[in-house]
Structure 1
Amino acid sequence: MQPNLNTVPMKDWGLGLDEFVVISGPCSAENEDQVVSTAKAVAKSDKVKVLRAGIWKPRTRPNSFEGVGEVGLEWLNAAKEATGLPIATEVANAQHVEVCLKHNVDILWLGARSTVNPFTVQEIADALKGVDVPVIVKNPINPDLQLWIGALERINQAGITKLAAIHRGFSSFEKTPFRNVPMWEIPIELKRLCPEIEIICDPSHIAGNRDIIPFIAQKAIDMDMHGLMIESHIQPSIALSDAQQQLKPAALVAMAAELKLRQPESTNKEFKNLLEEFRSEIDELDETLIQQLSVRMNISEKIGEYKRDNDVTILQVNRWNDVIKRRLDMAKALGLSDTFMNKFLAIVHEESIRRQTDVMNSTVVK
């Protein structure tokens, strides 16, 4: 089912936001001085338009620091008064929503652990009915695009039109350089299915390590994201949560100044003409690829028929291992990455096996 969302762009939220927004502040509000000092420091960047801080922290293990609670909202408002920045925090249930509204929080966000549960999302959506407050929704922990879209739809159906999404990466059992694997293809598909939804990237949670935050931030901009949420702490080494992924405010300001903002379109006529030539070449090549893949799958079906008629198994591991090695060797010689080719070959093999299985299960007509 095609999503149908009714949303307002961030620049029209009435908070003085630009078309590109940086949201920054500590992972957790720890005390008033920490919140206000961090806010004043990050506000030195003209790109930082919103102050963030966690008030309630959903933690994996009990007895960890789980946030200061409602008093933290008073500190956030003190920081807002000192800097003029709108304030944002995470809500995980209806009570959180009510407390935030009482304290005039400007933006609410749903965390990844909430988005993964439709019951939680619906509870929050019900608490938001009749309210005009911006809400941003993080992707679920697991790479499930439909869960992400479903959460956005639930909030939107509650009457919230000031709505955006946050890409914060996805959990993985594989060891990677990231805390949460970016899987850029998922937010890209969200943009394709829901072009009206603006997406903010959260490099802090993707990285889990402050050293690679600038790389992820620029990558997000290059992928036409509409903003960044980056954690910053006045003394990250003693932070009570996620110390490794928080930047000092001075580092945040310096990084923001170095970011290269890009536009999705250009008014340069020569650029447009050459771009159209390149795109036409790609269109022709894509059509040829699709035609050749169709031919390949037809041959796979014939192989399936031959195996069926001769009582031979579909999967022949030695043959497939040989195919992978030869294809990867060829791809490497042509400058294609192993990662791309492994994914491509796996998809092609899966479809080939499916076609042969269908043939195997079909009735032979004599």
Structure 2
Amino acid sequence: MKHSLDILPLQSWIDTGDKPLIIAGPCSAETEEQVVSTAHLLANTGKVNVLRAGIWKPRTRPGEFEGIGSVGLQWLKRAKEETGLLTATEVATAKHVEEALAAGIDTLWVGARSTANPFTVQEIADALKGVNVPVFVKNPVNPDLSLWIGALERINGAGIKKLGAIHRGFSSFEKTAFRNEPMWDIAIQLKTIAPELPIINDPSHICGNRELIPYITQKAMDMDMQGLIIESHIDPSVAWTDAKQQVTPAALADLLDNLSIRHAASNNPAFDDKLAELRQQIDKLDDQIIKQIGDRMKIAEKIGEYKRDNHVTILQVSRWDEIVQKRVQLARALNLSEDFTVKYLELLHNESIRKQNEVMNTKVNAEV
């Protein structure tokens, strides 16, 4: 289902030419010298549009550095005056919004923890009424697309038309190479239901370490995201927060130089013709797959009838294990990932159980 947001295209509120929007700067504003010096180095690359720095830092546990506070806003203001870079910071309360705007901060973002709380988002939205300032909304910590959309709708409902989203990954109990699992499918769903919404990627928080950042930034560009927000510190080794995921301005410049920027469309007729031909092949296969799934579900219904008439339970764990084992083996031979195959089988299995449940309860309902 499409969501209609009353927003302006990204290029109408910040001109990046044909390049992606780049927001960069330290995770936390620590000292005036650190902020201003980092800003100069970033500006000198000629690749950064907006300087970011955390002023108020929501930490998981008390006692950790929770941001320098309002004084840091003046450091961002000085950095802007000296470099010409626009500025951005995170806000989590109405007071943050008021202080940031009073200091002339150009762009605000709502953090992942705030997005997860509709009360917090509404407080921020109320403080933004009547203001013409760009606002980005990070995805919530947990993988909940509705929460993300709801936060965007609340900010948009306050009259903010310069609105964008930040994909920063999601918490997961599984131990992986990433600090936050990208779960690209959720970002893709957001792009699908709100195609007019600018979405930028936060590789720093997805990765949790600088070594993986080039991989994620390239993938974000290949997924047609419109920009990046990357943490950059003049000396990451002494950073007060998230030292492992910050890069130097020089490293950031190298990273951006090595990005392959691709386009959503081509002006090459021969390419368009070939692409249309391949898409027709996919459409044909998709139709066949859907028809075969329909045929599969008809058999599942017959199985449900047979189980009902013989008083056998729907769930047969041993049969399910057998299906997974055999199909995963086949999928490997066809160069399909195990993760995809298991998820696909789980969807089929759940639908089969739903169909069988309907059938098995038909007779019961008829007798009541």
TM-score category of the 2 structures, normalised to the smaller one: over 0.9
| Contact 1:45–1:256, Cα closer than 8 Å, also in 2 | no
Native 8 Å contact 2:2 2:192 kept in 1: no
Q: Which runs of 5+ in 1 are unaligned?
A: none
| TM superposition outliers: structure 1 runs of 4+ over 3 Å | 15-19
SS in 1 for 2:45: coil
Aligned equivalents of 1:310 and 1:363: distance in 2?
A: 13
Q: Provide, for residues 324-361 of structure 1, a one-character-per-residue CA deviation record: whole Å limited to 9, x for no partner.
A: 11111111111111111011111111111111112122
Distance 1:203 1:91 in 2: 20
1:8 matched to 2:8? The reply is: yes
Q: Distance in 2 between matches of 1:259 and 1:328?
A: 35
TM-score w.r.t. the length of structure 1 is 0.98
SS in 1 for 2:49: strand
Q: Across the two proteins, how many residue pairs are aligned to each other? A: 365
Q: Distance in 2 between matches of 1:269 and 1:16?
A: 29
Offset of residue 2 of structure 1: 4.2
CA contact (8 A) 1:56 1:67 kept: yes
Residues 52, 89 of structure 1: 8 Å contact kept:
yes
Please tell me whether the aligned partners of residues 112 and 140 of structure 1 are also in contact (alpha carbons under 8 angstroms): yes
Structural mapping, 1:193-342, within 5 Å: 193-342=193-342
Q: What is the match of residue 183 of structure 1?
A: 183
Which residue of structure 1 lines up, in the alignment, with residue 357 of structure 2?
357
Q: Deviations over 1:57-91 (max 9, x none)?
A: 00010010000111101111111112110000000
Aligned partners of 1:271, 1:17: CA distance in 2, in Å?
27
Report the secondary structure of 1:90's partner residue: strand
- Alpha-carbon offset, residue 210 of structure 1: 0.5
The residue type equivalent to 1:88 in the other structure is A
Distance, in Å, in 2 between the alignment partners of 1:149 and 1:319 is 39
Q: Counterparts in 2 of 1:118-129, with a 5 A limit? A: 118-129=118-129
2:167 matched residue in structure 1: 167
Could you tell me how far 1:17 is from its partner in structure 2? 3.6
Q: What's the RMSD between the two structures over aligned residues?
A: 1.2
Distance 1:238 1:75 in 2: 19
The question of whether the paired residues in 2 share the 8 Å contact of 1:44 and 1:253 is answered with: no
Structure 2 counterpart SS, 1:109: strand
Unaligned runs of 5+ in 2: none
Q: Is the counterpart of residue 142 in structure 1 residue 166 in structure 2?
A: no
Q: Greater shift after overlay, 122-131 or 37-46?
A: 37-46
Aligned-partner SS, 2:165:
strand
Q: Distance in 2 between matches of 1:200 and 1:269?
A: 30
CA offset digits 1:158-181 (Å, max 9, x no partner): 000000000000000111111000
CA shift, 1:45, in A, is: 2.7
SS of residue matched to 1:11: helix
State the 1:44 CA deviation. 2.6
Q: Secondary structure at the match of 2:88?
A: strand
Offset at residue 16 of structure 1 (A): 4.0
CA deviation profile, 1:152-207 (whole Å, cap 9, x unmatched): 11111100000000000000011111100000001111011001101000000000
Go from structure 1 to structure 2 and tell me whether the alpha carbon gap of 1:2 and 1:269 turns closer, same or farther (over 3 Å shift).
closer
**Counterparts of 2:236 and 2:168 in 1: how far apart (Å)?**
20
The percentage of aligned residue pairs carrying the same residue is 61
Mapped pair 1:152 → 2:163: no
